[in-house]
Amino acid sequence: MEYAASERRTGVDRRAVTLNAYVHGALRPRRKQGRRKQDLYPIIDWHSPRVLAVVFAILALCVTDGVLTIVLLENGAAEINPVMALLVPHNLWAFAAAKLTLTGLGVCVLVACSRMKLFRALPGELLLYAVLAAYVALIGYELRMLRDIPGPF
């Protein structure tokens, strides 16, 4: 038995990726929660402003860490991160780009996982706060090292 179905498509693909689609999705997010209550890992396209503030704080502390690292290296300190140690003596721009890129990608993954439950108990957003706390501790440590350097500081 054959059916003669008429083609209803107009030729315009509504799913085309355009800048307008991103702007529309940013201003009117559709998914603020999971679809079902039993969803373990809801995929959403809206996060709370609190998450955005934590992300900006992490990125600002990353930049601060990069600047303090360069200042400390000029005063005789050594880079203990083996990946960054490869980049520092050769090219400061590559060091800064790699530092921000790696931190930015990591933060993107953490934001994507922020609504998940880790080990079925801990909210994923807790990892963002842990990274923020680690950066605050690192900046405190670097400032203390900077204070111990004799000079114009």
- Give the residue extent of every domain in the chain: 46-148
What's the half-sphere exposure (Cβ side, CA atoms, 13 Å) at 80? 3
Mean pLDDT over 137-148 rounds to 92
Contact between 96 and 66 (Cβ < 8 Å): yes
Check residue 67 and give its pLDDT: 92
Q: Does 42 have pLDDT greater than 60?
A: no
Output the average pLDDT for the chain.
79
* Alpha carbon distances (Å) from 107 to 41, 43, 76, 136: 18, 17, 31, 16
Mean pLDDT over 95-108 rounds to 91
* Alpha carbon distances (Å) from 70 to 73, 101, 102, 146: 5, 17, 17, 11
Q: Does the predicted model carry a pTM greater than 0.75?
A: no
